[in-house]
Amino acid sequence: MTRILVIRANEPRHRALSARLIEGGFELNEIVEVKTGSSSSLSTLQIKHFKARQQFENDYFRYLHYDESGRATKKLHTPNVNDVQSIVFAERCSADYIITFGSSILKKEWIDKFRNRILGIHLGLSPYYRGSGTNFFPFVNQELGAIGFTLMNLDEGVDTGAIIHQAYANFVQGDSIHSVGNRLLQEMYDAIVRLMQIKVDLSQSVKQPPKESGRLYRKKDFTDLALTTALTNIQNGIIDKFIDDELNQRMLFPLIKEIC
């Protein structure tokens, strides 16, 4: 049986990945990075956005029924995935694959110890959008063809690893940022399960173009102005316009590698 170690944050979307892997029949261990950040710096509009996202995720992934009490064989909770305890735990798990989703960026020691075994998840299409909010800012820039996910052979950079598999988001009329995102997550989980089933060789990945060819966003870029612009664009029919011209819009952001 394929052994997988998931290094993740603890939002519903992160728990859903673990649940989907368990459903897929893999032996699962977990390192859960638990952050205690405050939302006091967020505006009322931003808080409303994130509360809506969490509710959408709770509703969308309810069917997976992830059991926090012990579905994973071994589990470690930590405030910092780069501490010695986490790396020792990972070594003891003897996993065939390590999957990172939503945790802090893994430092060089992880890459050196587990080379070609770490599958990094990037919710966005690299190299076009890297960093934070990479499936949000295309709504701001009216570039919906750049929304998707990237699975990569993790390196020390910010979303710069060699690419294993990419896919675009699928849109339907009446979509919102959250409904598009959750549909994409489900498709991504299914793709990860398929990659694990075929025991994909992470060393057979495709190097990305220079990082200067894309946009890099940080958390500080998620402002009220950016959020208002995205919501206004949706209200003005950006999704319907994209659906009508989907092929041409996607051609602006060609996938680098697609294997499943």
Residue 183 included in any domain: yes
Q: Is the pLDDT of residue 54 over 90?
A: yes
Q: What is the mean pLDDT of residues 71-88?
A: 89
User: How many structural domains does the chain have?
Assistant: 1
Q: Would residue 76 count as lying in a domain? A: yes
Residue 151 CA to residue 162 CA, distance in Å, equals 9
Domain-embedded: residue 217: yes
In a domain, 156, yes or no: yes
> What percent of the chain is modeled with pLDDT above 90?
77
11 inside domain:
yes
List the domain range (segments joined by +) for residue 45: 3-251
- pTM strictly above 0.85: yes
> Can you count the helices (H) and strands (E) in the chain?
9, 9
**Do the domain assignments include residue 46?**
yes
pLDDT tens for 122-164 read: 999 999 999 899 999 999 999 999 999 999 998 877 777 889 9
Q: Specify the CATH number for the domain of residue 180.
A: 3.40.50.12230
Distance (Å, whole) CA 239 – CA 236: 9
Q: What is the pLDDT of residues 207-222, one digit of tens each?
A: 877 666 789 999 999 9
